[in-house]
Chain A
């Protein structure tokens, strides 16, 4: 195991010395996942909030379904997106397979249920709290959605972070629809899978350490931002 420690050390120093190729991979990972989370937020938050306040038959069933979809297996999502984007699939003319866009699509499918399910939960609690106020103002249920989303914004950041965590860490979907093509669709997780398959376990672990470091950095940044926003909010109140 001593050889392994030395190998791990050299892999880490390779990374810290700013290997350009490696940082391009890190950057692509961030781009793809940040983009996917933004799109998932645009879809998932209104849907989750609407489900929280609207009353219609089948609502419970939809909520159960949405919660279950949080556990979608990434490989299955990858396969479905592959079948859609393949040249012999319905969206083949778009020529999106094996591009970063395909990876974003797959991650949006994975992340949207997480964002909408968590949004639903947060907004439902808030709506109960505000129900009398909103009723006295004569605001309809659906019209209250933007207000509720805005007031729940700090809690919703956590929903987005949960989605980001899922996106940046998953490998099953992006390796199928991205193809792990060098300089085009190779991201952190697919690089880790590749290095593992080459038997370069120390390198794979070192890359894993970087991935965790990025996750910590993103979470720290967001929590600092939301703390500051919260303080400012209190000052204005």
Chain B
């Protein structure tokens, strides 16, 4: 029995040594759930990998966590959507330079019954005010992500502090966009989401898009190389190559050509 056990151990050791030692060059990109859940990265990355032989390993978390991971040096490139926080990241010396990559927009989704009566409203701040006045359930990310930061900006503008109603009509899930949409779908709540995640989300239930098109719902994505001066182990050359590709003609064309159900989800806008 012991001999069999040792044999099994050795076999599985060999199993492991293979993929671990034969590693192709790679970079780690700290990014957001919206780029992954929408399917965008799965669609555009094979093009870059085939062209350069560099494997792109994506860690998809909320923007807040992605930035903190990058500050710890646990990533070579940051691809997120919270411009003020990104500029702060660069100003503090953690990143080399911030470049625009693409944009899409946020939308307010909610139950078809629409208890706050906001359907067709063009003003996101007025819509949120109406939700708070109706005390209709609202599911918030509550996780310091890019989407959560955007949501809080609109609440600020409305003068309503929804956290006063935390646990009542205002529900902070503290989770990713998809998990929050699952909550909204389950309790017929309103929620602010990026369009990409919404479009590819499979559990819409009774929810539909209620508010869209306000210029304040614009959602800009930026890319930053983690500063090798702060973290010498950053794979700067490969990371820089990825950034140049993403903001160059090939990457921009790949972003523009990604469609879900015939609809374009992200709009390239690198300089």
| Residues of chain A at the chain B interface (Cβ within 8 Å) | 31, 34-35, 38, 86-89, 92-93, 95, 97-101, 153, 179-182, 184, 194, 196-201, 225, 229
> B252 CB to closest chain A CB, in angstroms?
23
Give B42 Cβ to nearest chain A Cβ, in Å: 7
A92 adjacent to B73 (CB under 8 Å): yes
Q: Mark B69-104, 1 if CB is under 8 A from A, else 0.
A: 101111000000000000000000000000000000
CB pair B72 A86 closer than 8 Å:
yes
Given A87-B231, A196-B178, does the pair A98, B59 have CB atoms closer than 8 Å? yes
Q: CA A95 – CA B26 in complex, angstroms?
A: 12
Is there an interface contact between A181 and B57, defined as CB atoms closer than 8 Å? Answer: yes
Assess the A199–B182 pair: CB atoms within 8 A. Answer: yes
CB of B178 within 8 A of CB of A179, answer no
| A97 CB contacts on chain B under 8 angstroms | 74
Complexed CA–CA distance, A99 and B23 (Å): 11
CA distance in complex: A180, B36 (Å): 11
Number of interface residues of B (CB under 8 A): 36
- The interface residues of chain A lying within 8 Å CB-to-CB of B19 are 100
| CB-contact partner of A201 in B1, B58, B72, B202, under 8 A | B202
B12 pairs with A199, CB closer than 8 A: no
Q: Which 6 A-B pairs have the closest CB atoms?
A: A197-B178, A87-B73, A199-B203, A199-B202, A179-B59, A199-B201
A38 is contacted by which of B9, B37, B69 (Cβ under 8 Å)?
B9
Tell whether B20 is near chain A: CB-to-CB under 8 Å.
Answer: yes
Q: Kindly state whether residue B33 has any CB partner on chain A within 8 Å.
A: yes
Question: Given A98-B57, A101-B20, A182 and B12 touching (CB < 8 A)?
Answer: no
> Whole-angstrom distance from the CB of B18 to the nearest CB of chain A?
11
Known pairs A97-B74, A99-B20, A101-B20; A199 contacts B181 (CB<8 A): yes
Q: List 6 A-B contacts (CB under 8 A).
A: A88-B71, A98-B59, A182-B42, A197-B176, A201-B202, A201-B203
A199: chain B residues at CB < 8 Å are: 178, 181-182, 185, 201-204
- A197 and B57 contact, Cβ closer than 8 Å, known pairs A86-B72, A99-B20: no
Judging by beta carbons under 8 Å apart, are B1 and A88 in contact? no
Interface centre among A89, A100, A101, A196 (most CB of B within 10 A): A196
The answer for the CA separation of A92 and B73 in the assembled complex, in Å, is 9
Q: Whole-angstrom distance between the alpha carbons of A31 and B8 in the complex? A: 11
- CA A98 – CA B60 in complex, angstroms? 12
CB distance from B152 to the nearest CB of A (A): 21
Complex Cα distance, B58 from A179, in Å, reads: 8
Q: Is the CB of B16 within 8 A of A196?
A: no
Chain A residues near B177: list those with CB within 8 A. 197
Q: A88-B71, A197-B33, A225-B1 given. 19 additional CB < 8 A pairs?
A: A31-B15, A35-B16, A38-B12, A86-B69, A86-B72, A86-B74, A87-B73, A88-B73, A89-B72, A97-B74, A98-B28, A98-B74, A184-B57, A197-B176, A197-B179, A199-B185, A200-B203, A201-B202, A229-B1
- B181-216 CB contact bits vs A (8 Å, 1 = yes)? 110010000000000000011111000000000000
| Chain B nearest CB, measured from A22 CB (Å) | 15
- B112: interface (CB < 8 Å): no
Q: A114 vs B203: C-alpha distance in the bound complex, in angstroms? A: 38
Interface status of B233 (Cβ within 8 A of chain A)? yes
Asked whether B59 lies within 8 Å of A181 as measured between CB atoms, the reply is yes
